Structure 1
Amino acid sequence: MKTVVYQSFRNKDVPGWITACMASVKAWAQAQGFEYRFYDDAFLARAPDWFRQKAAGQICPVTDLARLVVAKELLADGWQRTVWVDADLLVFDPDALQITAQSGFALCLELWLYADAAGARRVSQRVNNSVAVFCAGSLHLDFFIDACVRIARQREQIGKLDVGTAFLSPLRQILPFPLLTEVGMLSPAFMAEIAAGQAEGVGDYMRALPGPLAAVNLCGSLQGQPVHGVVADDALYEAVIARLLATRGGALNGLRG
């Protein structure tokens, strides 16, 4: 199936860990026989000016819409399948990351492990678009574009997750659609555990997943922000990436028991 994988990031002052993540995606795409395309910041202009203004500096909702618009452009150019991948996503087991959708679309399963008010560990199941697959003839691509625009028009300001996870997760409750389960998500706290060689929280997370992982979203939008007492910096991202690549994901998948 004629497939193109695409990503976007600025082309100046790019952190080394982002470069490593994108290199892993490009290598995976080429090994799969897929075309690979990189878009610089001009990609953000796929979202209209008024939309970007309402995003008030938040990149996530702008890229949420832009990736859909570009998918439509690529499909119109004759590609049979488009695969968007976030720039902060690392592929550490390329053979295990398989895109099997032949029609329609697919997004990503997101499990988020947290502690409730009583201190008990809980897992919430959500949907994210860190990898978003659309095939030619999909009935839903225009719907997703229209939904992003409608949601934005109803708000004075677009929140970080308003047209992404906060929209997609409840949607799947009424409109079941395929999810990639090989793509995980590491919070700063989980990354700190991996870097320190500790695995209590990460182990609980891995055992809650339906199967082993081939890639992880490293939550770059949380960099520099305190999350559960951990602030992720470049050194932490680099340490986690090095360990996951060196073990081909064994540092995570080995915790499934």
Structure 2
Amino acid sequence: MRTAVIQSFREHDVPAWLASCMRSAQIWAEQEGYTYLWKNDAFFDYATEHEKRICSNQIYALTDICRLRWIKELFDSYDRVVWLDADILIFSPKKLTLESLAGAGFAKEVFIRPHTDNRGRFITKHGHNNAFMFFDRDNGSLEHYLSSAEACLAEWHDGDLPRTIIGPTMVDNLFSCHRVTSIEGVGLFSPNIMRDIVLGGTRLSKQYYGHYPSGLYAANLCHFIRNTLEGLKREQYDATYEKAVEKLLQDGSRVLLPSNHFVHNG
């Protein structure tokens, strides 16, 4: 099966930790025998002028539709296309595989909040996202997703677009009406999780690890949060992420666990 792994990001203001993420994706693609393709901001040429006006400053919705059109274009040359957001870090590349999956798939998403319920457990939200997804050429899910995204932007007249309207919100709807599969082993590491990793693991990160019984091999590092920060706060954010990424690349998902709790590298 001819497979392409694709990513896009700007060429300026690229923090070191994000560059490490993109390198990890390229390493994984080459290890799997896939073609790795990357685009800079020329990626946004896949959007129409009308769509650019509708999205305005909501770059995430614009990115969501552009990636679908790029995938469709690549079906002329490839049987499968895998999209990875630029902030996906693959820290256990030898254990991450899509070989047993077919059709179309989206990353399983577990978001954990640093607040507890009445049983003392940290509150979690479950779903799927399009930060890590794949489509096979002979599967109809891409066309369904793309047509839904195009219709959403064409009909939008209610002010600012929600950040996830063409992303996780639409993906969860796909799961209810299409045969798509979950990609396991890809976490969603919020700043709280990343701080936990730097500090040596706590009960929060340990509970998060428990939501992935088959193992954690990669993670979405939520780069969008960086865009909300300025000055010293952004510098501190980048410093934390750089340390956490280094630990993840060195020790894998076991860095989520408290230092006195050992588990085989996952």
What secondary structure does 1:70 align onto? helix
Corresponding residue of 1:242: 246
Return 198-207 or 1-10, whichever deviates more. 198-207
TM-superposed CA distance for 1:65, in Å, is 0.8
Note the residue ranges of structure 1 that are not aligned, 5 or more in a row: none
Opposite residue 141 of structure 2, the aligned amino acid is H
> Could you tell which deviates more after superposition, 110-119 or 59-68?
110-119
**Structure 1 position 131, deviation (Å):** 1.1
Aligned to 2:46: 46
Where does structure 1 differ by over 4 angstroms across 4 or more consecutive aligned residues? 116-120, 253-257
Matched with 2:188 is 185
Q: CA deviation at 1:155?
A: 2.3
Task: Report the equivalent of 2:26.
Answer: 26
The 8 Å contact of residues 201 and 256 in structure 2, kept in 1 or not, is answered as no
Aligned residue for 1:153? 154
Indicate the SS of the match to 1:223: helix
Q: Determine if contact 1:103/1:137 at 8 Å carries over to the other structure.
A: no
Where do residues 1-257 of structure 1 align in structure 2 (5 Å cutoff)? 1-76=1-76, 78-100=77-99, 103-114=102-113, 115=115, 120-156=121-157, 157-223=160-226, 225=228, 233-252=237-256
Change (3 A) 1:66 1:173: same
SS of residue in 2 equivalent to 1:113: strand
Counterpart AA for 1:79: Y
Shift in Å, 1:242: 0.5
CA distance in 2, matches of 1:62, 1:256: 42
Measure the CA separation in 1 of the matches of 2:214 and 2:52: 37
- CA displacement, residues 28-70 of structure 1 (integer Å, 9 cap, x when unaligned): 1101111111101010121222222222212211111111101
- Kindly indicate whether the alpha-carbon contact (under 8 Å) linking 2:107 and 2:186 is maintained by their aligned counterparts in 1: yes
Q: SS state of the match for residue 95, structure 1?
A: coil
Q: Secondary structure at the match of 2:94?
A: helix
- TM-score of the two chains, using structure 1 as the length reference: 0.90
Rounded Cα–Cα distance in structure 2 between residues aligned with 1:31 and 1:209: 24
Distance 1:60 1:108, change over 3 A: same
**Which residue identity is paired with 2:29?**
A
> CA offset at residue 145 of structure 1?
0.8
Structure 1 contact 116–122 (Cα < 8 Å) conserved: yes
SS at match of 2:187: strand
Secondary structure of residue in 2 paired with 1:87: coil
CA distance in 2 between partners of 1:3 and 1:253 (Å)? 34
AA aligned to 1:192 is R
Contact 1:207–1:256 (Cα < 8 Å) also in 2: no
* Matched residues, number: 253
Deviations 1:141-171 (A, max 9, x none): 1111110111222323322100111121243
Aligned 8 A contact 1:55 1:159 in 2: no
What amino acid maps onto 2:17 in structure 1?
W
Q: Distance in 2 between matches of 1:181 and 1:85?
A: 14
Deviation of the 1:102 alpha carbon = 6.1
